[in-house]
Every structure is written in C-alpha cells, then in structure tokens.
Amino acid sequence: MRIERLDLAPYGRFSDRRLTFSPTAALHVVLGANEAGKTTTLEAISDLLFGFPHGTAKYGFQHDQQLLRVGGSLAFADGTRLDVVRRKGRLNTLMDATGRVVADEPLIRAMAGIDREAFASEFGLTSRQLRRGGESLLAAGGKLAETLAAGSSSLSALSAAQKALGEQADALFTPRRAGSKPFYLALERHNDAAKALKAAVVDPSEWKAAETALEEAKLHGLDLRDRHRALSAAVARRKRAQRVRTKLAALAQTAERLAALGALPDLPATTLTQARDALAADVTHRKEGERLTAEDIEAARALADLSVNEKLIAAKTAVEALTRQIGAAENFERDLPHRLAEEEEARLQLDAIARKLGVSGAAALLAAQPTDAELARAGERVKQRERAQEKRAEALRQRGEAQEKLARLDAPRAGVVSDPSRLKRRLESFDAALEDAKALDRDRANLTRDARALAEAALALDPAVADLDALARAALPEEAELARRAEIEKATEQALRGLRDKLGEARRKLAAQEADLAKLETLGSGATRADWEAARTRREAAFDRLAATLDGPAGLREERFEAVRGLTLAADALAERALVDADRAARLQGARDELAKRRAEVAGLETVVAEAEARHAHEVEASRALWAPSGVAPHSPAKMAGWRRSVTNLLIRRAELETRRAGLDALAAQVEAARVTLAAWLTEAGVTFEGPFIALHHSARDRLKEMEAAWLAAQQVEIARAEVEKTLAGFTGALAELDATEATVRRDWPAAMARLGLRPEAAPEEAQAALAAWGEVGVPREKLRVAADRIEKIRDGLAAFEAEAAAAVAAAAPDLAGFAGQQVAAQLTLRLAAAEKAAEERGRLTREGAARAARRDAMESMRAALGQTLANARTLLGAEDDMQLEAALAAQATRAELAGAEAALRRDLLDIGDGLDEAALRAEQAEFDPASLEQEIAEAEQAQARLWEDYKAANEAETAAEGRLKALAAGRDAVGAARERAEAAGEIADIAESWLLRAAAAKLAARAIERHRAAAQDPLIARAGELFALATGGSFVGLGVDFDADDQPVLVGRREDGKVVKPEGLSEGALDQLYLSLRLALLERRAGEAIPFIGDDLLASFDDERTSRALAMLAEFGAGRQTILFTHHARVAELARKLPRDVDVLEM
Amino acid sequence: MRFQFIHAADLHIDSPFAALGAKDAGVAATFAAAGRKAVEALIEETIASGARFLVIAGDVFDGDWKDVSTGLFFARQLGKLERAGVRTYLIKGNHDAENVMSRRLDYPPGVHLFETRKGQTALIEDLRVALHGRSFADRAVPADFLAGYAQPRKGWLNIGVLHTSLDGSAGHDPYAPCTVQDLARFGYDYWALGHIHAASVVSQEPWVVYPGNIQGRSPRETGPKGAMRVTVEDGRIVAVEPMILDAARWALARAELGGLEDEATIASAIDAALAAAHAQSDGRPLAVRLTLTGVTSAHARLMARAEEWRDEARALGFRLAEDCWVESLRVETSAPLAVVSHDPDALDVPGLLTATAQDPAFLTDIAELVASVAGKAPPGVLEALAARTTADWASRARDLLLGAR
C-alpha cells in the first residue's frame, strides 16, 4: 500500500493542506521546521488508516471536533486504489469525495490485523527509538534469537514479557528451596498448621487419662481433709484446758475473799454513793477555806509596800511629748558642725573668685555680680569678634587659590584648534565608496578563486585544456557531428570486433585441429601407403642384394639374408599396421584435409580483418581530422562528445567570469576616483598618507577622531576659566560685608566690658577669662545660702526643746532642775513608766481581795447542806463519826468489787470454754498434765500445719485436673488448625498454578522467539546484511552468524577482509545502523500488503556522512515499500536530493 | 394424632471447610464457626418446632477426625434434646465407623444408637412408631447389610434409617448399595437416608429421602442446607419439608462476558453475577466461586490480569455485603477465533505463539514444570493442578502471554 496523497482539511492547525507523494519515489522526505505540523501530519496518517480515536481528538484544537477531516489516496499492491475522507465518529467514518459512506473492508484487509498501536510501533521509528534499539542490541550481546527479537517491536515486546513473567515466576517458586518465596512460605505455613493440628487434637486416651487424674485427685483431697479434722479436734481440747486453767483458779480465790468480808448491811448503791460524795466534798471545802485566808494576808502585805508618784502621772502628756523629741534634738546636735563647715568652704571659694576678678572679698563680689543677661550679652560680643576674624582669614585663603587656578588656565597652549565638524561631514560622504571598495576586494577574491577552479577543471579534462582562452577562440567540432562520428566509429569497430572474434574463433579451431592431428599422428604408427611402398622397395632391393650373394661367402649370405628378413618383417609390420590403422589413417587423412580447408578459411578471414581494420583506421583518422583546427589531441569520438559537453560548460562559466571581471574593473575605477578625493581630505586634515582606499579611509577616520578629541579639550578649558573668574568676583563682596560687621562689634565693646569689671580696651581673651570667672560664682554662692539657712533652723529647734524640758521639770521633778534637756527627758520617761506600773498593781490586789470574800461566803452555805447528808449516812451505817463512816463505806466497796470480779470470771469461762459448764471444764482439766500440755499442743499444731499444706496442694491439684478436663472438653481449636492447614494448602495450589502459568508462558515466549529465529534467520540476515553494508558505506559487507563460547549462535558484522565484529565491538552509530537494518529487513519479511514505513526525525543524531548512507539504505528499502521520512533538518533533505535515486522531497 | 419428627444426616461436625483463599482471618473464622452453628441450629429448631424425636442417618463425624472435644460438643447438644424430652435415634455412617473418638462417646440415656452387628428395631410406644436401623461397623459393609432390617410392624409407622449411596450416586463411593425398589419392598413408610450431601426426595411411595448435609463445606456444596421436617397424622406421613439450618453458604457464580471488551462493562457483568449469587444467600455469609465465561476479545487480558480481577471481584463482593467473599475467580473465557498465519516467519506473534504452544517439545516442558512443583508440595494439595492437560496449560500460557505483551 502506498499513500499517494494526504489531505488535512480541516485538521490540526491546517484548514486545507494537501501533501502529494510521488508514486515512483524510492524515498519521501517530508521537511518541516518544528511546529510546522510534522507531528500533526504523522497523527493524521494514523487517523486516516484507523479512524479518529474516541474522545477529544488530539489535533482538533482549532476546529470543531465533528468537522475534522483527513483524506487520502491509497494505492494497494493489487492495483486497486482507495480515495477516501475520514471523519470523526464511531461508525461509517470513511467516505468518498462526495461524502458517501465507503466500506472500510479494503483498508482493514490491507492492514491485516495491524492496529493503530502496532502501526506506530512496528512501522514507525523515531531517533530515540532507534538509539534504544541500538542499546537493546548491545544488551542482547549478539545472541541471535534475542537480537532478532530486539529488531522487531512485537518480538521485543514478547521478549520483555518473557523476562517479566520469568521473574514473576521465579519470585513465586523455584525448585530449589528458598525460604522467602511465597510457595515455601505457604508450605511452611501448611506444615506448621499440620503440626499444630496434631498437637491440638484431643484424642480419647488423653481424655481418659485426664478423667482418671481428676478422680484420683479428688479422693486424695478427701482423705487429707478427714485427717486434718481429727487432729484439729485434739488440739482444740488441749488448748481449751490450758485456756481455762487460770480462770478456774481465780474464781476459787474470789469466793474465799468474799467469805472473809463477813456480813454487811445491804444498802442501795445510790445511798452509798451520796454518802461517799458528801464526805469527799466536805474535805474539799475545808481545805479551800484555809487557802483563801493565806492569800488575804499576802495581799495586804503587798499593798502596804506599794508607792505611786501621782504628779508625774498627771504630767504624762508633757513627758511623752518630750520623749518623742529626743531623736530630733540628737539629730540637730549632730548636723550643726557639718553645716558650719559647708558655710565656711563656700565662703573661701567665693574669696578665691573675687581675687581672680580683682574684687576685695566674697561680699564685694556678690554685690558686684552682673546679671545672667549681662553676662550673655558680653559673651556674644566676644564670639562676634572671633567669628569675624576667622571668616576674613578663610576668604583670603580661597581668593588666593582661585587666583592661582586662573593663572594656570591662562598658561599658553600649543597649536590652534579648529572645529572638525565640516571635515566629519565630508568623510561621511565616503561611506558608499567604502562599501564599494570592500565589495571590490571580496568579489575580486571570489573571481580569482572561481577562475582558478575553472582552470583546474579545464586541466582535469582528458585531454587537458591548458589554455581555455585559446580554446574559446578555436573552432571546435559540433556535438552532433561528434555523435555521428561516434556512431560510425562504433559501427566500424563493432564490425571489426565481430570479424576479429570470428578470426579468433577460426584460429582457435585451427589450433585445436592441429593439436588433434598431432595427437592422431603420435598415437598411431603413421604407416602410410607411401611408407609401406617404400619398405617393400627396400625389401626388394635387399632381395636383389641377397640374390647377388647366393654364391658368395656364407657370412655375407647370412648377413644379407638377415637384412632381407629384417626388412621383410618391417614391411610386414608396416603392412599389418597399415591394415590395422586403415580407419585411423583414413581419419588422419580426413583431418589433414579439414586442416587444409581451415587454414584457407583463416587466411581468408585474415584478409577480411585487415580490410576492416583499414576501414576502421580510416574512420578514426577522419574523426581525428575534425580536431585538427583546434589543435586538440582527441580520444574516441564517444569520449570526446562528453569532453565537448564539459568544454561547453566550462566556456559558459568562463564567459560568466569575464562578465564579472568587466563589472569589477568598472567598480575599481570608481573606487580609485574616491581614493584621490580622500587623499585631498587627508591633506586638508594635516596628514600625508599613501595607500589603497580602505587604508586611507581608516587613516582618515583615526585623524578625525584625534581632531574631535582636541576640539573637545579646548572647549572644556574655556568653561573652567569662566567659572574661576566668577568665584573671584564673589570674594570682594564678602570682604566688604565682614568690615561692616566688625565695626558694629567694636562700637558695643566698652559697655560690655564695663559690666564685666574690665577696661573698655580689654582684649577678647581678657573678656573670655572674666566671663569664665563670673561663671564660677553661681555654685559656691548657692552653697553659702543653703548652709546659712539650715544653721538658723537647727539653732531655733534646740532652743524650743530645752524650754519644754524645763517646764516638765518644774511640774513633776524639781530634783532634775539644772540638767540638760535630753537627760531630763530620759529620766522623766523612766520615772513615768515606774509610776504607772505601781498604780496598776494596786488595782489588781484590790480586785482579787473582793473575789475571795465572795467565794468564802458561797462555801459556808454549801457546807451547811452537806452536814445533813453526812448525819443520815452515819445513822444508816452505824458510824459514830466521819472516820467510822469512811471505814464502813470502804468495806461496802470491797464486797461489790469482788462480786463483780466473780461474775466476769464466769462470763469469760463461758466464752472460752466452748460452751462447757464449770464442772465439765474442771473434769477436763483432770485429763491433762498441765506441765506437758504446751508441748503437746505445739507438736499437734505442727502436724496440723503439715496436713493443711498437703490438703491445699491436693485441692489445687484437683482444680488443675478439673481445668485440664474442661480445657480438653472445650478443645484446643483443632478446627482452627485444620482450617489453617486447608487455607495453606489452598494457597500452595494457588501459588503453584500462578507460577506454572507464568513459567510456562515464559518458556513459551522463549520457544516462540527461537522458532522465529530458526525460520527467519538466514534470509533475514542476508537482507539485513545488504542494508547494513549500504548503511555503513561498505565498511561492512554484510552480516553473518558466529557461535559464542556456549555454542549459541550470535550475530556478527562481516568486513571485506573476512573479519567479523561482534555487536559489542560496534560503535554506537554502527549499532543504530544495525538495528535499523534489522528492523527494515524484518519488515520486508512481513507477509501481506506492504504497509508504509514512517521515520520521524530518524537521523537526527547522525553526521552528514552517516545520514547520506542511512538515506541510501532507506531508499534501497523504499524501492520495495513506501518509505516516508519526516525531518526538520534541511540538511537531511539536501543530502537526500543528492542520492542517485528517485527521492521525493516535500516541504510542509 | 399428629406429630412431627426431624430427619437429619451427614453432620460431619468440625470437618474442615475447603480453602477460602482468605488472608483475612475474620472471613475464615466466620465460615469455620458455621459448622457448629448449624448443629446448634438443628437442636434449637428441633426443640422449638415441638418435634417428638430426631433421626440422624449417619456421618455425625468425619472419619479421620479424632478430636474428643468434637464428640463432647455433640454430646452436649444431645443433652439439650434430652432435657427438652426429645429422643434421638442415631446410626453410624461410614465416617463414624472409622472414627476412633466416636466409639467411646457416652451419649445421654435418651439417645438410641443402633447396633452394628444386626438390624435393630426401636419402638416409641406412645407414638406407635417403629424405627429400624443398623450402624456401620467399619468401612466394609457386608453384602447382606440391608437384609438384617426387620419386617415392618403392622399398624405402626415404620421408619428405616440407613446410610447408603443407593445405587451409586455420581461422585460418591458406593456404600450399602441398593435400589429404591429394594427399599420399597420392605413396606416401611419412610426411609431416612444419609450419605448423599444434596437434599432430595427420591421417592414418595414410600418416602425415600436424603436431607443432605446441614452445612455446605466446599464450592461443590452450594445452596441452602439443612434437615427434613416430617409431619405424621394418624399414622401417615402427610408432609416432608426442608428445614434450612446452614450458617454460611457457598455459591457458584458465572459471569457471561461474551462480546464484552472494556473493563467497565466486564466489571458490571461481574457485579451482576455476584449480586445474583448474593441474593440467594438469605443474608448468610457467602463464599462465591466466580467463573468468567464467554467469547471475548478481552480474554488474553483477563488471563494476564486474573489476580487483579479476582481482587476487583472481592471488592465488588464486599460492596454487596461485608460477609460476601469471592473464594476464587476462574477465567474460562475464550478469545474469538482469529485468522492465524502459520508462517512462523511472518511476525504474526499470536500465530507464532499458537504454533509454538502446540509444539510437543513445549508440552514436554510443561510436564516437567508440573512435575517440578508437584514434587515440592504436600501430597494431594496439587491434585487439581496435575489434573489439567498439558495442552490446556499450553493454551492458557499462550493466552497469558498474549495478554501480557
């Protein structure tokens, strides 16, 4: 199938674009810059062949999707054609030019199962894919099957699938055990689950054993429990006996004591209590009365000792006020000397300043002190005088500098400088001439080079033309005449060659016949009739000689006879041989006759050839004669016809050169005229220079630059001078202003000095010193004032304090008169405190005496009430006095206590005697020996503890046995283990299936690739070799198969000298070429319709030479099927045009 | 008088389920628990329905299952019946006969276990029911096994309890082989059979009934499972109805992908097939074996990406219900017939692969591969793998390769 036309209308960026592919071209090169729509066009081809992809079309960006069209004209191998337009859509998208739906079967049949993707991958190739292809060949390491697979995108996909599936399979399972692989992991899981299942299953024997164990544990426990109970009972009885023994003894003792008390009246407990309480209260009251009396006596003695200073207490307020002032008075006395010292220091400082100003002392100084405003004004006058002096000095310095600068600017300068602008305008008018001069130089060089090339081309002709000019003038034969002469010469030559061939043939035959004859002659005797007749004649002569000696001597006879016999034998032999070789002789004769004829024929032919040679020589001479006028020594007319054509071309080129030369001469004249004018310009500019125009122009430009620089410098000097003069004028005004200011200051000066206490003519320095001295007065003056103020206040405070002290003394302590205030205050404070304390003590004693009197009265009435109660008690208990009453009450108390103790003992016995009565307990006591009882208990308890431990252990064992049985009944999740085993088995099966499928598929892929190799190898390699030879420009002559160390077939490149190169020995470019050769050779082997091959910037990375060779290969391949190469390199198109093939270059 | 009894068989308690391919322990545990749950449901339903007795026609346990806790579980369940006043009549099937554990099991007093030595008749006086039965002593069943069954008791309801495959049902080893006619000749009213796991009413005159097993355990045992509830009125059987007891269910789903090409429509077809299967699960946990069938150009892609499709199907299953589990996905589709060139040189890869796949040398390769993996797996685990023909593997490998390119 060939695409003969492609219409993009509308499609992508094209509204209506048609590409026409020449039907005879071996290679179409579609040249388009980037963005010219190359990729769009590639996509359009796919859309035309396979329909637009569903969804939004990739190249529909400028047009309504539904309006997209791509049309084309397709020519199929069987001669049919399809002129169609494809629209976007799902069904019936193929139409003819009128918009009628066209069946797409022919297209589908031609594509024979190739889909859009396969078309792109199998029939399309980009430079990047090419590079990757080259790398894949290297990766295949020459292994033939892999290499061939790499050459086809579908087989390389298969190869990739093989690798991927193989890896997947290996990851799942390998026959060699590897713990990390899923198969073995699942196997391990299965085995673990099987083990777990075995362990989990509770079998009947285990169950039975557990049941028995539980039963035994139960029985053991019961036995231990009974034994423990018996022992406990024995211990309990002994312990009870021991426990109650002391209680029983105490009970007996209490009964004895009760009996000893004898009979006592039974009185109610309340009566006894009241009597006891009254007796105790009476004693208490009596003792308290005694204590109160003692306290009264002590208080009266204390009151007598107390004395209270009432006057002082009356003066309490004045004394407290005095006390509060003691601190202040002390401070005043401490502060006064400091203040006096400060006053003296300030006065001394002021005296010192007075001396500086020539004043008599501090008082005079303070009196003469000017105000602050007067001091400020005098200070301002001093500063004004100083500033005016400084300004004058600065103005005079700057004026001096300006005058110096002016003197420098006015220094004389060399040469007169003029404005160069006129000369510049004139020089600019030479620009056109400069361009002409440059063009002249360039064109002259080109002309010289072309003339040399022409001369070389002429010399390269055969015969060589040394002087083309002479040849241009010479009369040369016309090409037609030369062609006619060539025809004639060819005819005569052909005739001559025919005759020579014939002659040669005849001579060969003659030689062969001569050889045959010689062979015949050597093989046989050569016994001719003449030989035989000669032998007979010789024999007859011998007979005659024998006859002549018959009578002669025997020796001679015998000799002659032998001679006859010999000759006879010889003659006979000849006769016999002649007879035998009659046939051969006849053939020999025939051959000789034939040979004679052949010689005659050869002779005849030689004559004819000589004639033909002469004729041919004549024609050659005639041809040569044509060249005589020109003096050219010619070759054959055929060759000379070519020479004549070349000469014509050369003469045309020569004429062109002559025309160019004439033009250049005219230009040279113009340039020369300009040069003369420019030389005049230079002279005017003050330069003398000779040389060609361009050199002059350079020189003129340099001169102009110099002149412009000088002119600029002169201008700058003028500007600077004007500025300096302006500055000098400014200084005169400034000095006048200063004079006026100084006059004003001098006028005000004497008044200012007078306020400072100076003479009117005092210098500014003096004024400065006076100002400084007056400035020092402020601080000591203030210090003096503050100190005097403070001293006065202290003295006033101390006087007031003394007055108050004196008043207090007079009022309350005349004995202190004459003492200093502070001492008085301290003493009075102490005395006041003592007086107040005494007054307080007196109050307290008085209050306590009153309280005791009240208490005594209350007690007396209570004792009267108790007396009645005690009298009643004495009567009831038969006591005569309180002493007897007390003894009777004590006896009653003892009896009550013993009765209580007896009751408590009986209660205790009831508690600890386990419910046994006293009699039973006393009987039990009799059973045991109290001495050994403790020992017996200790031993029994030890035994009991041991039994208890055993019992506990037995109980635990029983619980454990019960738990075991329960656990067994609940099972050990054997079901779970079985499930896990089943799941693991399932997983193993799944993995095995998955592995098997992948391993088998990988194997299948390998076998398929190998199968393809075996079938395709030989023709494929031969064809790929041819293409590779083309692609490498003969650096390789083809491809071959070698065998590697493993005896695997590997692909190799073959050199002309028979050497082979493996893929790893090929350069990167050669690998790419090899890949391309294989791809193309594989495509050629595809059955069915030949689908176009499309390269997309395939040769982008190649240099010119490699590109040319690759193009040659593509063109060779393109002879068999349409080959379209898209490129954006104009160079590729250019190189393609140079191929000796029908190459169709289309520009986008 | 009207009463009901329950006829069950083939409990196979604690017999492991077929692999679910579930990495998720939750899914596996749900199914594993289903076996005992179904037994518990049998007991609860029997009591709840007011049935007077329960007949179990053999194979309570699995033959090689030795775990005593299984027996104790069953004894506990029978204890519940005992307490509810429901009697149990039990024969040992071939599996029970082999089972070591069951021999020593102590059943509650209300359980009647038929003897092995000869046919035995148990009478229920108040209901006037005579049950005739015999347990298997071991795997080998004597030829006159059936002959040991007693004559029917006149005027009573006669029930024969027998563990048999009848005349060799397909897929089952023949046990106590006999024909329906053989059974009919006994003149019993009802033959309570066991051994065949699919429920069926073989005959109604007399009643010859398989209740099937009570819980499906593999993809071969699909659909609802349970026991039979038999209603007797005035000494005659008036109704035999299935009683559904299973706690999880198995299903076979087929997604017909004929003519479907793109993934979305294939996924829809799978979804529809799963939804149809799930609709039959009555809300129970469901394990589905999904088979893709039909002629589709997507065949090779399906082969190459079978595992991804299986995961996709599982995701679709989970969308239907959190306990709808796709156990496995089998790609049984086929590619449309293509015009295949048999010129191995023509770069027609599908043709090249087809031709190579038929190469005897390649079939030998496959046999070697099968042997290499089978030798590493535990016995019996790869039976299914070995059962496929090499040609079948070859064509699957080719399809995988076509899809993987």
Q: In sequence order, what DSSP letters do the residues of B356-403 get, joined into one string?
A: HHT-HHHHHHHHHHHHHHHTTSPTTTTHHHHHS-HHHHHHHHHHHHHH
Judged by a CB distance cut-off of 8 A, whether residue A985 touches chain B is yes
Q: What pLDDT score was predicted for residue B169?
A: 55
Among candidates A970, A994, A1086 on the partner chain, residue whose Cβ is nearest the Cβ of B347? A1086
What is the average per-residue pLDDT within B349-356?
A: 84
CB contact at 8 A, B358 and B392: no
Judged by a CB distance cut-off of 8 A, whether residue B16 touches chain A is yes
CA distance B361 to chain A (A): 9
Interface test with A, best of B14, B23, B67 (most A CBs within 10 A): B67
Q: Which residues of A touch B401 (CB under 8 A)?
A: 158, 161, 165, 1001, 1004-1005
CB distance A983–B345 less than 8 Å? no
Q: Centre a 10 Å sphere on the Cβ of residue A814 and count the other Cβ atoms it contains.
A: 9
Closest residue, chain B, to A999 (C-alpha): B369
Q: What pLDDT score was predicted for residue A169?
A: 92
The A1093-1096 sheet, strands edge to edge = A124-126, A1093-1096, A1123-1127, A27-31, A1143-1147
Return left, alpha or beta for A81; rule: phi > 0 is left, psi -120 to 50 is alpha, else beta: beta
Q: What are phi and psi of A914, to 5 degrees?
A: 50, 35
- Tokens of residue A590, six digits: 């025939």
Distance CA B225, CA B37 (A): 12
Q: Which residues of B touch A988 (CB under 8 A)?
A: 377-378, 381-382
- Taking only residues 940 to 979 of chain A, the set having a beta carbon closer than 8 angstroms to any beta carbon of chain B reads 968-972, 974-976, 978-979
Interface test with A, best of B102, B215, B310, B349 (most A CBs within 10 A): B349
- Taking only residues 126 to 155 of chain A, the set having a beta carbon closer than 8 angstroms to any beta carbon of chain B reads 152, 154-155
Q: Which range has the top average pLDDT, A799-813, A1063-1077, B272-286, B351-365?
A: B272-286
Q: Which residues of A touch B345 (CB under 8 A)?
A: 1012, 1015-1016, 1020, 1085
Among 3.40.50.2300, 2.60.40.1930, 3.60.21.10, 3.40.50.300, name the CATH number for the domain at B2-244: 3.60.21.10
CB distance B398–A1016 less than 8 Å? no
Q: Which residues of A touch B307 (CB under 8 A)?
A: 994
Give the Cα-Cα-Cα angle A268, A273, A279 (nearest 5 degrees): 135
More confident of the two residues B142 and B17: B17
Q: Which whole-number Å values give the CA distances from B176 to A876, A1005, B136, B173, in the listed order?
A: 120, 53, 9, 10
The residues of chain A scoring below 50 in pLDDT are none
Is the C-alpha dihedral spanning A281, A284, A289, A290 positive or negative?
positive
| Number of CB pairs, chain A paired with chain B, less than 8 A apart | 206
Among candidates A976, A1000, A1085 on the partner chain, residue whose Cβ is nearest the Cβ of B345? A1085
- Taking only residues 529 to 588 of chain A, the set having a beta carbon closer than 8 angstroms to any beta carbon of chain B reads none
Q: Please give the torsion angle defined by the CA atoms of residues A946, A948, A951 and A953, in that order, rounded to the nearest 10 degrees.
A: -70
Q: What pLDDT score was predicted for residue A874?
A: 86
Give the pLDDT confidence of A257-287 residue by residue, as tens digits. 888 877 788 888 888 888 888 888 888 888 8
| Percent of chain B residues past pLDDT 70, beyond the cut | 93
Q: Which residues of B touch A968 (CB under 8 A)?
A: 68-69
Judged by a CB distance cut-off of 8 A, whether residue A161 touches chain B is yes
More confident of the two residues A1023 and B47: B47
Q: Which residues of B touch A161 (CB under 8 A)?
A: 401, 404-405
CA distance B168 to chain A (A): 28
Q: Centre a 10 Å sphere on the Cβ of residue A1138 and count the other Cβ atoms it contains.
A: 10
* Helices (H), ranges, B51-191: 68-84, 94-98, 100-103, 180-184
Give the pLDDT confidence of B51-63 residue by residue, as tens digits. 999 999 988 888 7
pLDDT greater than 50 at residue B343: no
Task: Quote the radius of gyration of chain B (alpha carbons, Å).
Answer: 26
Judged by a CB distance cut-off of 8 A, whether residue A1082 touches chain B is yes
**What are the structural domain ranges in chain B?**
2-244, 249-403
Q: Which residues of B touch A1087 (CB under 8 A)?
A: 341, 343, 346, 348
What is the average per-residue pLDDT within B187-208?
A: 92
ipTM score: 0.86
Q: Which residues of B touch A969 (CB under 8 A)?
A: 68-69, 72
Q: Which whole-number Å values give the CA distances from A492 to A24, A433, A503, A1116, in the listed order?
A: 40, 65, 16, 40
Residue tagged 């650096």 (tokens)? A1035
Q: What pLDDT score was predicted for residue B161?
A: 94
What is the average per-residue pLDDT within B30-40?
A: 90
Per-position b or e across B185-224, b if 16+ CB within 10 A of its CB = ebebbbbbbbbbbebeeeeeebbbbbbbbbbbbbbebbbb
Is the C-alpha dihedral spanning A457, A459, A463, A466 positive or negative?
positive
Q: Centre a 10 Å sphere on the Cβ of residue B37 and count the other Cβ atoms it contains.
A: 17
CB distance B398–A1004 less than 8 Å? yes
Q: Which amino acid would we find at residue A642?
A: G
Give the pLDDT confidence of A296-335 residue by residue, as tens digits. 888 888 888 888 888 888 888 888 888 888 888 888 888 8
CB distance B370–A165 less than 8 Å? no
Q: Which residues of A touch B365 (CB under 8 A)?
A: 1000, 1003, 1007
CB contact at 8 A, B257 and B266: yes
- Tokens of residue B43, six digits: 């007991």
CB distance B69–A971 less than 8 Å? yes
Among candidates B22, B338, B400 on the partner chain, residue whose Cβ is nearest the Cβ of A1001? B400
Q: Which residues of A touch B22 (CB under 8 A)?
A: 983
Interface test with A, best of B15, B356, B370, B402 (most A CBs within 10 A): B356
Q: What mean pLDDT, rounded, does chain B reach?
A: 87
Helix axes of A554-580 and A582-627: crossing angle, nearest 10 degrees: 60
Q: Which whole-number Å values give the CA distances from A682 to A420, A424, A543, A679, A711, in the listed order?
A: 12, 11, 138, 5, 18
Give the Cα-Cα-Cα angle A848, A854, A857 (nearest 5 degrees): 145
- Taking only residues 613 to 642 of chain A, the set having a beta carbon closer than 8 angstroms to any beta carbon of chain B reads none
The B120-124 sheet, strands edge to edge = B120-124, B129-133, B157-163, B190-194, B207-210, B200-204
User: B347 falls in which pLDDT band (50, 70, 90)?
Assistant: low
Per-position b or e across A669-681, b if 16+ CB within 10 A of its CB = eebeebbeebbeb
Judged by a CB distance cut-off of 8 A, whether residue B345 touches chain A is yes
Q: What pLDDT score was predicted for residue A203?
A: 82
Q: What pLDDT score was predicted for residue A523?
A: 65
Q: Which whole-number Å values give the CA distances from B262 to A233, B298, B302, in the listed order?
A: 94, 7, 11
Q: Please give the torsion angle defined by the CA atoms of residues A1017, A1022, A1025 and A1027, in that order, rounded to the nearest 10 degrees.
A: -110
* Helices (H), ranges, A262-305: 269-305
Judged by a CB distance cut-off of 8 A, whether residue A185 touches chain B is no
Strand, helix or coil at A1015? helix
Instruction: Judge if pTM exceeds 0.95.
Output: no
Q: What is the DSSP string of A173-235?
A: --SS--TTSHHHHHHHHHHHHHHHHHHH---HHHHHHHHHHHHHHHHHHHHHHHHHHHHHHHH
- Tokens of residue B17, six digits: 């389920």
Q: Which residues, including other chains, have CB under 8 Å from residue A59's CB and lie 6 or more apart? A: A11, A12, A40, A43, A44, A68
Q: Which residues of B touch A177 (CB under 8 A)?
A: 376
Judged by a CB distance cut-off of 8 A, whether residue B355 touches chain A is yes
CA distance B325 to chain A (A): 14
